[in-house]
Amino acid sequence: MSCASVPGGGLRHPLRCRKPWDEECEEEAVCVIMCASVKYNIRGPALIPRMKTKHRIYYITLFSIVLLGLIATGMFQFWPHSIESSNDWNVEKRSVRDVPVVRLPADSPIPERGDLSCRMHTCFDVYRCGFNPKNKIKVYIYALKKYVDDFGVSVSNTISREYNELLMAISDSDYYTDDINRACLFVPSIDVLNQNTLRIKETAQALAQLSRWDRGSNHLLFNMLPGGPPDYNTALDVPRDRALLAGGGFSTWTYRQGYDVSIPVYSPLSAEVDLPEKGPGPRQYFLLSSQVGLHPEYREDLEALQVKHGESVLVLDKCTNLSEGVLSVRKRCHKHQVFDYPQVLQEATFCVVLRGARLGQAVLSDVLQAGCVPVVIADSYILPFSEVLDWKRASVVVPEEKMSDVYSILQSIPQRQIEEMQRQARWFWEAYFQSIKAIALATLQIINDRIYPYAAISYEEWNDPPVVKWGSVSNPLFLPLIPPQSQGFTAIVLTYDRVESLFRVITEVSKVPSLSKLLVVWNNQNKNPPEDSLWPKIRVPLKVVRTAENKLSNRFFPYDEIETEAVLAIDDDIIMLTSDELQFGYEVWREFPDRLVGYPGRLHLWDHEMNKWKYESEWTNEVSMVLTGAAFYHKYFNYLYTYKMPGDIKNWVDAHMNCEDIAMNFLVANVTGKAVIKVTPRKKFKCPECTAIDGLSLDQTHMVERSECINKFASVFGTMPLKVVEHRADPVLYKDDFPEKLKSFPNIGSL
Amino acid sequence: MQSWRRRKSLWLALSASWLLLVLLGGFSLLRLALPPRPQPGASQGWPRWLDAELLQSFSQPRELPEDTASPPQAPHGGSCNWEACFDTSKCRGDGLKVFVYPAVGPISETHRRILASIEGSRFHTFSPAGACLLLLLSLDAQTGECSSMPLQWNRGRNHLVLRLYPAACPRTFQLGQAMVAEASPTVDSFRPGFDVALPFLPEAHPLRGGAPGQLRQHSPQPGVALLALEEERGGWRTADTGSSACPWDGRCEQDPGPGQTQHQETLPNATFCLISGHRPEAASRFLQALQVLAALQEMSPARVLALRQQTQFLWDAYFSSVEKVIHTTLEVIQDRIFGTSAHPSLLWNSPPGALLALSTFSTSPQDFPFYHLQQGSRPEGRFSALIWVAPPGQPPLKLIQAVAGSQHCAQILVLWSNERPLPSRWPETAVPLTVIDGHRKVSDRFYPYSTIRTDAILSLDARSSLSTSEVDFAFLVWQSFPERMVGFLTLSHFWDEAHGGWGYTAERTNEFSMVLTTAAFYHRYYHTLFTHSLPKALRTLADEAPTCVDVLMNFIVAAVTKLPPIKVPYGKQRQEAAPLAPGGPGPRSKPQAPAPDCINQLAAAFGHMPLLSSCLRLDPVLFKDPVSVQRKKYRSLEKP
């Protein structure tokens, strides 16, 4: 049995033969059923031949009919009911033209104009959202209606394709609720995306008669094209009282900071054109302008730039002489040269986004999609989602009066920063611009973050592109802080039944000056720990914790008894470390509190023949792990090991009774991105890896098992987090020609 | 008889089967016949319209050209924003230059400290004409005097009004286009992106330095109260994790009772503190606090840990002294002027903070030594050796050969700081060798020469002596700690009771806090800090007392990293023969502690003692281990 090959150290107690036994039992059970059926088979046929032939046929037919019927019914019962379970039965399929019509009397109430002083704490009732464990707001969507005035003339187009998509995206999201009483945010189905298509007064009246309108508080309106001729207001002109506005094209004058949400103007080209991401590298044009409806003054300025800087600046306009059938939206021209739009944007490093009559321009989305860095020239424009997105990383904002200096401003940006901006621009488009759904969900997330600020998405999550999120490490102990020596450390000894050796370890460790508490984790459920009177008398508190199960992970549990930050994990057979070595180890940990600081070091190597990782315990010049049979580390890593270990590693370690130290090395290196610190010279550790039995073959099995652990963990982590270094820490004067008695840690490397 | 009985049992079985069939089948038929009603609880969702394909887009392409019809017009509003009210053209060239209106009459201590901190900054200028920002310290409530409109007011354009006490004086003049920096501005008058919100500065706030954060432990200790609530008269009440029975939307009718709360006069030892913007009315506030408590308990330990550390970082980087608050204000305004070359968010929000990570050095975080982990980048694999040749000055041929022998060496720069003429011949090396003619000033050694192309600098004195393996090993160590100095010889500082001041020594001790820059690896960013961030007076101090420059460099790096430097092994024999101590040409000049005043002057200028001690040395893994020399990679380090 495999149990025999488990190294018989004190900790790795044999407890593994459960599984084979279970398998055997299963086989037996199967056998019983089979034997039983055989018995019936023998009886059955004997019954029928004795009857008369006529009756027999009759009976057999009847019997088979009944049997067939039974089988058919059974199958029907358990067959997946495809018709019933499909969504179409639950979600109505209707025509937009069939929606109920609501007549708005001419004198029905109109909401107040938008209240500019609104803030979340004055105009929004957060108590509606309640405190809920998921920290998610609940959003209700009013049913679609068609509004007409007294003369039966419709107030607006019922719904646009984009607004339909938007409401569908909300309805499919986690935010949605169809229970109006539980909702904390209400979205009218009255489409106000484009102000030009609606009648302002009547639309306002339609809003006011919504069942939960209540001056518009907790209502959210989406608008992308605000204002109208001649002065083009930068926010929707429909009176809306306290309603939140998610608007494209806000200016600093109309945007209510922390209340409204600035959203992009959706570009339909996002869905129509597939522009694969273009890698970094030189692009043909330095600066490009592709907008067609530019004001003549701006066009003059741009053309002046083109004259001054020649080929590197390209100013495009709409094409005047296109043949019939060519989509003019998808073409741009410079003199007689015709370019494909938006493909041409990928040929430029910077792309101008100028305001027209409106501040928000759909071209911004096209420019981002092409990975071209937008140069936003639109004074006072609130960039989309600027509450959470860091536009400095993806765009250049130039004041309108500096337009003539644009070229020199852009030239001062280092190449590396440009490449980061290009990557960032593309990422913003992918995450927040490319579909109506992305725009809708980002808007709701921003509002959600305001209501549950303690559960809000971080700056990094909003802004870091996936490639940075993957490669970067955010060290949980990032504050450079040297913990005070007075805090001391807690020693944790995991033990099973080697009492004598345990007592020796306790006595040795208790001599270390900075020890502040000793915790014995008693991992043997079959035996009680020795009586109080038998334990060694030491100067610090000694506490015994009994565990419910003999698991290796018990060593890394964040016990409440640990009151210091520093933890010394030590096996119950490590008696060869001197007090000087342990005290020095603690001092080293204080300088590197976010690392594993340990004594025996180990290395992982890539085995080119086998194409996998290999565990190495020889005398090497490098080190990438320390054994936790004797190591200092921060208590926080116990919390991480117990509750945040990725995949099934923790169970795997407990099942195999091995490699908990390798798992800890992986965990710490992965979360901090830093290497271990090995302290003091190598010494002969008796059974450093707990292979108490001498003999080469067992040693080899052990090495194979440890190598397997490394490969397993690397696959779970999806990367090899361990860092290799060539240094270890010694006392400053170690082996120096200096009087021993003047050294702080003379007793190092002895024994 | 038997056959009948058999038949009977058969019939019985048959009828039983029929019954079963009817029952099961009946149910199924019933289910088919009556289509299920949507259950009331099930979500209905937004309908899938049959004619969704026919819906029109919200914007028709034809609509767009109407944009041209209207002339572009900047939207107008009642107040200022950055583009409209600040003239950045005045800031070209030198960047942000600040002129402060001199104080009229007697001034308060805080007022004096603010003036001192501006005058000590690199932004300060004495000429109002050359300044791009004019700063007016306004309305000092302490003296009761209200300032009158200054001469260069110009409707407040490019002015910053620094208000220490909210509206203590009636307004004597219109603020106009001036920016306002004040504590606790109201949401109605504050102009985001234009005004600056300040922390409240207490009378006793130190001018510079400032006490470090009080967090001595990364993670909260078990048993510490979770929440403390600010009360009237400056007291605190605390609640522990047990007292959070109130649901969010319910009303907590019960008084928490004295058992669960404690009243404290001093700042409590709690994980969270609830600070109310309004005047706290103890009882009802406490009930709200309990609701907050419920939310806080949801927070993961990882988040609590991160928040605790961030409070300490923010305090230490931007709040702990008057100087930091004022310099932060100016840095914020400078970032607005710089636009694209402003500090990226990461530089503001992670250690060491934007005041110590200059955006004039770079805007890419990976160019700095501090952010490699967050960026997923690695320090470069090569270094530049910068050899300083001071008088009397011989070309350091042996040293050049040893350094050029390192596989990591990218280039060698010789800084000729010497009366003698430049030698015409230099040794042939595998790497490019550049000679720079210096001005014979010690501070030249730390100038950010554009010829330095690598992140790592190996700073050397011509009299230093190093072996290739020593250089190789030290460089590998530096790559693990790119923000620290990695050196061979050390100094340590101590508090001298007898003189009541700091002192330092080069004697070998069990601890050290500085490494000599005559043989040390460090990041080239520290040259930029030394030259562009340090007050000029300190650079002059270094020029006048050359031995002080080592201390100064160590001060800078320690103040930025809050960590001690790193020592690596150094050949013992040579150490005895030719000490690397600067300015000591003699063969056995006792490692001197000259100009003990240097360290005290620096400590005063920094406002605190930034140096930290270390008790370890990083050796090769097999250093002096009882194992075959053949196995050792750095065996020459062990030669006696």
- What mean pLDDT is predicted for residues A217-240? 92
Predicted local distance difference test score (pLDDT) of residue B471: 96
Residue B225 pairs with which residues in a beta bridge? B270
**Residue whose C-alpha is closest to residue A520's, from A534, A533, A508, A505:** A505
Query: pLDDT for B478-503, tens place per residue?
Result: 999 999 999 999 999 999 999 899 99
Q: What is chain B's mean pLDDT, rounded?
A: 79
Inter-chain contacts counted by CB atoms under 8 A, chains A and B: 386
Digit-coded pLDDT (tens) for B242-253: 444 443 333 344
Contact B222, A560 (CB under 8 A): yes
Interfacial A residues in 508-537 facing B (CB < 8 Å): none
Q: Which residues contact B8 (CB under 8 A, 6 or more apart)?
A: none
Angle between helices B397-404 and B468-480 (to 10 degrees): 50
Q: Pick from A295, A619, A636: which is nearest to B622 by CB?
A: A619
pLDDT, position A43? 39
Residues of chain A with C-beta less than 8 angstroms from the C-beta of B55: 96, 159-161, 164
Q: Quick check: B634 pLDDT over 60?
A: yes
Residue-level pLDDT at B259: 41
Question: Which band of pLDDT confidence, cut at 50, 70 and 90, is reported for residue B581?
Answer: very low
B residues 459-498 closer than 8 Å to A (CB) = 473, 476-477, 480, 490
Q: What's the average model confidence in pLDDT over B560-583?
A: 70
Domain coordinates of chain A in residue numbers? Answer: 97-262+435-469, 270-320+327-430, 485-729
Segment A744-749 mean pLDDT? 90
Does the beta carbon of B112 lie under 8 angstroms from any beta carbon of chain A?
A: no
Q: Does A61 touch chain B (CB under 8 A)?
A: no
Residue A544 pairs in a beta bridge with A520
Q: Does B564 sit within 8 Å of A268, measured CB to CB?
A: no
DSSP-assigned states of every residue in B589-623: -------HHHHHHHHHHHSS-----B-EEEEETTT
Lowest mean pLDDT: which of A604-618, B31-45, B618-632?
A: B31-45
Give the residue from B300, B614, B460 showing the smallest Cα distance to A455. Answer: B300
Are B603 and B521 in contact by the 8 Å Cβ rule? The answer is no
- At residue B175 the predicted structure's pLDDT band, cuts being 50, 70 and 90, is confident
Q: Which positions in chain A touch B624 (Cβ < 8 Å)?
A: 681, 735
pLDDT of amino acid A11: 42
Average pLDDT over residues A50-59: 63
B79: confidence class by pLDDT, cuts 50, 70, 90: low
Mean pLDDT of A423-449: 97
The confidence score (pLDDT) of residue A533 equals 92
- Residue B98 binned pLDDT confidence (cut-offs 50, 70, 90): very high
- Average pLDDT value over all residues in chain A: 86
Residues B20-33: tens digit of each pLDDT: 666 666 655 555 55
Q: Which of B340, B492, B570 to mutate to test the interface with A (most CBs of A within 10 A)?
A: B340
Q: Give the DSSP letter string of B317-339.
A: IIISSHHHHHHHHHHHHHHHHHG
Residue A325's pLDDT is what? 65
Does the complex come out with an ipTM higher than 0.90?
no
Return the H-helix or E-strand segment holding A103: strand A101-103
DSSP string for residues in A203-242: HHHHHHTSTT-GGGTTBEEEESB---TTT--SS--S--TT
Contact B631/A737, CB-based, under 8 Å?
A: no
Percent of chain A scored above 90 by pLDDT?
66
> Out of A57-71, A377-391, A394-408, A493-507, which region has the weakest mean confidence (pLDDT)?
A57-71
Strand, coil or helix: what is B305? helix
> What does the pLDDT look like over A696-713, one tens digit per residue?
456 788 899 999 999 999
Cα A358 from chain centre: 36
Residue A557 pLDDT grade (very low, low, confident, very high; cuts 50, 70, 90): very high
- pLDDT of A88 strictly over 50: no
- The tokens for A353 are 């986004």
Question: What tens digit of pLDDT does each residue of A260-317 get?
Answer: 999 999 999 999 899 999 888 889 999 999 998 888 889 999 999 999 999 999 999 9
- Among candidate residues A116, A398, A548, A354, the one with its CA nearest the CA of residue B88: A398
CB–CB contact A93 B10 (8 Å): no
Query: In which band, very low, low, confident or very high, does the pLDDT at B423 lie, cut at 50, 70 and 90?
Result: confident
Measured CA to CA in angstroms, residue A701 lies from A6, A7, B430 at distances of 10, 9, 49
CB A190 within 8 A of CB A207: yes
Indicate the DSSP class of residue A532.
G
Query: Could you tell me which residue, B260 or B23, shows the higher pLDDT?
Result: B23
| Residue A397, strand partner residues | A376
Residue A307 CA: distances (Å) to CA of A317, A403, A404, A449: 16, 15, 12, 48
Q: Which long-range CB contacts under 8 A does A574-578 form with residues at least 24 apart?
A: A574/A505, A574/A629, A574/A630, A574/A685, A575/A501, A575/A504, A575/A505, A575/A508, A576/A683, A576/A684, A576/A685, A576/A686, A576/A751, A577/A508, A577/A630, A578/A747, A578/A748, A578/A750, A578/A751
pLDDT band at B395 (very low <50, low <70, confident <90, very high): confident
Chain A from 83 to 142: CB within 8 A of any B CB: 84, 88-97, 117, 119, 127, 130-133, 135, 141
A526-553 per-position pLDDT tens digit = 999 999 999 999 999 999 999 999 999 9
Between A583 and A356, residue with greater pLDDT: A583
Yes or no, beta carbons of B633 and A400 under 8 Å apart: no
The pLDDT of residue B80 is above 90: no
Comparing A30 with A124, the larger pLDDT belongs to A124
DSSP string, B529-568: IIIIIS-HHHHHHHHHSTTHHHHHHHHHHHHHH-S--EE-
Q: How far is B35 from chain A (nearest CA, A)?
A: 8
Mean pLDDT computed over A84-109: 74
Instruction: Identify the weakest region by mean pLDDT among A693-697, B616-620, B626-630.
Output: A693-697
Locate the chain A residue with the closest alpha carbon to B63: A196
Tens of pLDDT, residue by residue over A576-633, are 899 999 999 999 999 999 999 999 999 999 999 999 999 998 889 999 999 999 999 9
Confidence grade of residue B418 (pLDDT, cut at 50, 70, 90): confident
Tell me the H-state helices in A332-465: 363-369, 406-411, 415-428, 436-451, 459-463
SS3 A421: helix
Q: Tell me the whole-structure pTM to 2 decimals.
A: 0.83
Which among A328, A380, A459 has the least Cβ separation from residue B74? Answer: A380
Query: Which residue among A178, A474, A601 sits closest to B621, beta carbon to beta carbon?
Result: A601
pLDDT band, residue B280 (cuts 50/70/90): very low
Which two tokens mark A579?
């007090």
Does the pLDDT at position A179 exceed 70? Answer: yes
Answer with the residue of higher pLDDT: A8 or A283: A283
Q: Alpha-carbon distance A247 to A99, whole Å? A: 27
Q: Give the model's confidence band at B260: pLDDT under 50 very low, under 70 low, under 90 confident, else very high.
A: very low
* Confidence grade of residue A20 (pLDDT, cut at 50, 70, 90): very low
**What average pLDDT does the segment B314-330 reach?**
93
Q: Measured between CB atoms, does B613 come within 8 Å of chain A?
A: no
Has domain A485-729 been given CATH number 3.40.50.720?
no
| Per-residue confidence band for B109, with pLDDT thresholds at 50, 70 and 90 | confident
Residue B254's pLDDT is 43
pLDDT bin (cut points 50, 70, 90) of residue A37 is very low
> Are residues A476 and B632, on separate chains, in Cβ contact within 8 Å?
no
Inter-chain touch A726–B66, beta carbons under 8 Å: no
Mean pLDDT of A557-586: 94
The verdict on B70 touching A (C-beta cutoff 8 Å) is yes
Query: In this complex, do A397 and B339 lie within 8 Å of one another by their Cβ atoms?
Result: yes
Whether the domain at A270-320+327-430 and the domain at A485-729 fall into the same CATH topology: no
Cα–Cα distance measured from residue A572 to residue B512, given in angstroms and rounded to the nearest whole number? 35
A246: number of Cβ within 10 Å: 26
pLDDT band per the 50, 70, 90 thresholds, residue A126? confident
pLDDT digits over A511-529, tens only?
Answer: 999 999 999 999 999 999 9
Rounded to whole angstroms, how far apart are CA atoms A601 and A616?
A: 10
Q: Which residues of A touch B75 (CB under 8 A)?
A: 234, 251, 253-254, 359, 379-380
Catalytic residues of B: 550
In contact, A203 and A223? CB cutoff 8 Å: no
* pLDDT score of B173 more than 90: no
Looking at chain A, the whole-number percentage of residues with pLDDT higher than 70 is: 86
Instruction: For residue B46, give the nearest of A168, A229, A621 by CB distance.
Output: A168
State the pLDDT confidence band at B475, using cuts at 50, 70 and 90.
very high
Torsions phi, psi of A286, nearest 5?
A: -80, -45
The reply to whether residue B376 touches residue A468, judged by beta carbons under 8 angstroms, is yes
Which CATH homologous superfamily contains domain A270-320+327-430? Answer: Glycogen Phosphorylase B; (3.40.50.2000)
In tens, the pLDDT along A463-475 reads 999 988 888 888 9
Question: What's the maximum distance between 2 C-alpha atoms anywhere in chain A?
Answer: 117
What's the pLDDT score for residue B5? 65
